């Protein structure tokens, strides 16, 4: 047992030096652990600090800088495998905290000890032993995650393909791998490559909604700004619910295939823009270079992509061999995945402004050809008397109007054959068949995907794209409710049964939320930081930033750019906006004055999710959903009325509607009689009929009252 922290740190360094590991595995090593360890070594003046790496050094590097440059240098000679970085590249989670990764990958629960309780664990030996067991479990979890994701073999394969350094591969950042692959290729062909640019651009003001941080780009910027050229084409969707088979056709690796098909390379394309200017979707003019001469020898870039594609095909063929050893199958699978990841990211180096091989004209040419190919494919399909209901970048959806699956596949193969005749290397294929589809808008749909079975039948699996319920900035309760509603809509049940089931579930959810029977975890909202919390200009109005600053003020692990923050919206006795009443879940547990803001969750989380999903469904509207959830429906009527006005305009205007249809959502006019106090309800201008017709305001509805409300019109 070490008597002081200095002794303990010295023992740790001696142990590392003795074991001399090649690879150190951990979670959030670069973001927290390594910096804290080195800071304490520095403060305690522990000698031989450089034994944490393999390079003998005397001066401690500057710590706490952006990108963790000093910390990365301190471990020279040893590879650092940070499973948080690897998981961000290989899987999609709502957050990449260790607890979330343990749950998602290992399918088990991790118990967390709050940071403020750690000091108290040293008070008794039993508590200290429990703390030790807890840290051992964490170490085992981290190692298991690394093995489950095949992080090291995959990194080794990618490094062998790209020809870079494995320690850099483990740090993430696809652009550097692509750069090394192209450096080797150009060097072998006796080309001089451009120098690496050092960018010192002022930081852009970026929208908070940008959630992804792309590898090396994070060294220069936080978040993702809009591309400097037009991207993929998205066809206007024919929104609605489809209960006949929908065919989904998809171009295999569209952008890498375009580069090969049209021989697009630095060595083949004249990068002086042509006279012709293309108009982008935003109405801006974009200059596109001419395609290279078809007779030119294949350029370096398409050749390298071709090699990767061919090698992957060969590996996949090897995987099909019978009686293969399971270990060999796993090795082949890791190799083909590494080849796929590398090939699909090759186009990215053209459009990434911090890449050595940044070439905006080439990137613009590739996306321009992609838009042209998608539009041409749509027109070709329409000439075959088929309805294209949606298309996005490299795929199109076709409404087959058929319930015969065999006929649908025949149709798909026919379209595939006609399109593929036009190209040498570009290939479109059947990506899937939807039994039913709820198409809401661009990039937002839910569908039942058909999966053929060995007995000639098929099963279905639900697929969701772009909907609120797959985004992490909605609470789990809203996502689960949306999932239930989608499942009902896509089912084979009658429309009346679907509406009835949705009504029952929403009433039940509204009651459960109001009576407090929903666990707090169901209310947690997750939002990623695109910058360090202190770098946001408007900290108060952004709930996740507000909570992140509180977390950082508590000591322990600091949240930073790229981390995901969990928070709940509470009633705290103030009249502040909901965004300023955000608290960390642990604050809610500790502070008695905080309670879940049930109205916020019903009106701002569950209602919008369900309303957007049900938009194309007859018999369900925003007002009904609000009523079922126990909300005041009047606040949703204005929006509903304006939506009806838009629909009326499309159908030829409100002139075609009766007054009853036009004003069906309006409340009846109510006015108490000034004399007797009876509440009069007026639903028409006139009462009676024929010769007995008179203004409805002429007399009070109380027959004993002789007052005429007409005399009080001014007061009304």
**pLDDT of 487-534, one tens digit each?**
999 988 888 899 999 999 999 999 999 999 999 999 999 998 988 898
Mean pLDDT of 65-90: 84
pLDDT given at position 680: 74
In terms of Cβ atoms closer than 10 Å to its own Cβ (0-12, 13-18, 19+), residue 255 is: buried
pLDDT higher than 70, residue 640: no
Question: Residue 398, Cβ neighbours under 10 Å: how many?
Answer: 24
pLDDT higher than 80, residue 623: yes
pLDDT digits (tens, 9 = 90+) for 279-303: 544 455 567 889 999 899 999 999 9
In terms of Cβ atoms closer than 10 Å to its own Cβ (0-12, 13-18, 19+), residue 117 is: exposed
Helix (H, G, I), strand (E, B) or coil at 323: coil
Task: Say if 546 falls within a structural domain.
Answer: yes
pLDDT given at position 205: 40
pLDDT higher than 50, residue 647: no
Q: How many domains does the chain have?
A: 2
pLDDT digits (tens, 9 = 90+) for 650-705: 334 444 444 554 555 566 677 788 777 777 777 677 665 555 567 777 777 777 77
Distance CA 609, CA 543 (A): 20
What is the CATH number for 502? 1.10.132.60
pLDDT given at position 65: 61
pLDDT digits (tens, 9 = 90+) for 241-282: 999 999 999 998 899 999 999 999 999 998 764 444 555 444
Higher pLDDT, 208 or 697: 697
Task: Say if 484 falls within a structural domain.
Answer: yes
Task: Say if 525 falls within a structural domain.
Answer: yes
pLDDT given at position 471: 77
Of 636, 662, 677, which closes a domain? 636
Q: Model-level pTM?
A: 0.75
pLDDT higher than 90, residue 66: no
Nearest CA to 179 out of 356, 300, 363, 53 is that of 356
What is the CATH number for 146? 3.30.420.10
The helix (run of H) or strand (run of E) holding residue 695 is: strand 694-695
Task: Say if 396 falls within a structural domain.
Answer: no
Task: Say if 700 falls within a structural domain.
Answer: no
Task: Say if 325 falls within a structural domain.
Answer: no
Distance CA 301, CA 487 (A): 45
Mean pLDDT of 50-54: 92
pLDDT given at position 674: 78
Distance CA 561, CA 540 (A): 17
Percent of the chain clearing pLDDT 90 (strictly above): 48
Helix (H, G, I), strand (E, B) or coil at 507: helix
Distance CA 487, CA 38 (A): 52
How far from each other are the two terminal CA atoms of the chain, in whole angstroms?
A: 85
Of 636, 654, 685, which closes a domain? 636
Mean pLDDT of 35-57: 90
Of 618, 636, 654, which closes a domain? 636
Distance CA 174, CA 222 (A): 16
Nearest CA to 75 out of 5, 167, 156, 151 is that of 167
pLDDT higher than 50, residue 406: yes
Domain assignment of residue 553, given as a range: 468-636
Task: Say if 324 falls within a structural domain.
Answer: no
Q: Give the pLDDT band (50/70/90) at residue 33.
A: confident
Task: Say if 282 falls within a structural domain.
Answer: no
């Amino acid at each position: 047992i070490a008597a002081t922290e200095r002794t303990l740190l010295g023992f740790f360094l001696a142990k590392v030096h003795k074991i001399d590991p090649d690879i150190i595995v951990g979670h959030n090593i670069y973001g927290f652990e390594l910096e804290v360890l080195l800071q304490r070594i520095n403060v305690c003046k522990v000698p031989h600090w450089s034994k944490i790496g393999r390079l003998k050094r005397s001066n401690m590097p500057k710590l706490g800088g952006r990108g963790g440059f000093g910390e990365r240098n301190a471990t020279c000679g040893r590879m650092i495998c940070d499973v948080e970085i690897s998981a961000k590249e290989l899987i999609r989670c709502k957050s990449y905290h260790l607890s979330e990764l343990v749950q998602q990958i290992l399918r088990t629960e991790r118990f967390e000890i709050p940071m403020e309780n750690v000091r108290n664990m040293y008070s008794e030996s039993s508590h200290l032993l429990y703390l030790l067991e807890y840290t051992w479990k964490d170490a085992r979890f981290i190692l298991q995650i690394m093995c489950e994701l095949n992080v090291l073999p995959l990194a080794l394969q990618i490094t062998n393909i790209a020809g870079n350094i494995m320690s850099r591969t483990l740090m993430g950042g696809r652009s550097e791998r692509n750069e090394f692959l192209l450096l080797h290729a150009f060097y072998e062909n006796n080309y001089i490559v451009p120098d690496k640019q050092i960018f010192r651009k002022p930081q852009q003001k970026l929208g908070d909604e940008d959630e992804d941080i792309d590898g090396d780009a994070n060294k220069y910027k936080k978040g993702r700004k809009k591309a400097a050229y037009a991207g993929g084409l998205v066809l206007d969707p024919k929104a609605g619910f489809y209960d006949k088979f929908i065919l989904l056709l998809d171009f295999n690796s569209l952008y890498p295939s375009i580069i090969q098909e049209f021989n697009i390379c630095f060595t083949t394309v004249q990068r002086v823009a042509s006279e012709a200017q293309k108009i982008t979707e935003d109405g801006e003019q974009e200059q596109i270079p001419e395609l290279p001469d078809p007779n030119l020898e294949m350029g370096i870039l398409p050749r390298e992509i071709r090699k990767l594609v061919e090698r992957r095909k060969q590996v996949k063929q090897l995987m099909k061999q019978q009686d293969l050893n399971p270990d060999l199958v796993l090795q082949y699978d890791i190799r083909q995945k590494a080849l796929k990841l590398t090939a699909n990211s090759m186009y990215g180096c053209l459009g990434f402004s911090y890449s050595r091989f940044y070439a905006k004209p080439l990137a613009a040419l590739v996306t321009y050809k992609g838009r042209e190919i998608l539009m041409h494919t749509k027109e070709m399909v329409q000439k075959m008397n088929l309805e294209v209901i949606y298309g996005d970048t490299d795929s199109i959806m076709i409404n087959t109007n058929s319930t015969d699956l065999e006929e649908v596949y025949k149709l798909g193969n026919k379209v595939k054959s006609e399109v593929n005749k036009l190209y040498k290397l570009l290939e479109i294929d059947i990506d899937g068949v939807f039994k039913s589809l709820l198409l809401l808008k661009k990039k937002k749909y839910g569908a039942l995907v058909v999966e053929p079975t060995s007995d000639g039948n098929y099963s279905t699996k639900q697929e969701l794209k772009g909907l609120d319920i797959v985004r992490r900035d909605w609470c789990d309760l809203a996502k689960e409710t949306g999932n239930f509603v989608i499942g009902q809509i896509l089912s084979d049940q009658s429309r009346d049964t679907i509406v009835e089931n949705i009504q029952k579930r929403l009433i039940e959810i509204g009651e459960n939320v109001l009576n407090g029977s929903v666990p707090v975890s169901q209310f947690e909202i997750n939002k990623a930081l695109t910058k360090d919390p202190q770098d946001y200009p408007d900290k108060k109005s952004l709930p996740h930033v507000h909570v992140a600053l509180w977390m950082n003020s508590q000591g322990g692990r600091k949240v930073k750019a790229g981390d995901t923050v969990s928070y709940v919206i509470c009633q705290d006795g103030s009249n502040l906006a909901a965004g300023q009443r955000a608290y960390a879940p642990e604050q809610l547990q500790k502070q008695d004055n905080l309670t879940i803001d049930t109205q916020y969750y019903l009106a701002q989380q569950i209602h919008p999710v369900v309303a957007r999903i049900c938009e194309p469904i007859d018999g369900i509207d925003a007002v009904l959903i609000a009523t079922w959830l126990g909300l005041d429906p009047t606040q949703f009527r204005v929006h509903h009325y304006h939506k009806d006005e838009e629909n009326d305009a499309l159908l030829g205007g409100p002139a075609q509607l009766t007054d009853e249809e036009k004003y069906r959502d309006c409340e009846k006019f109510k006015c108490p009689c000034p004399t007797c106090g009876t509440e009069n309800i007026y639903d028409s201008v006139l009462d009676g009929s024929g010769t007995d017709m008179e203004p409805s305001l002429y007399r009070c509805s109380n027959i004993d009252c002789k007052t005429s409300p007409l005399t009080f019109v001014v007061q009304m």
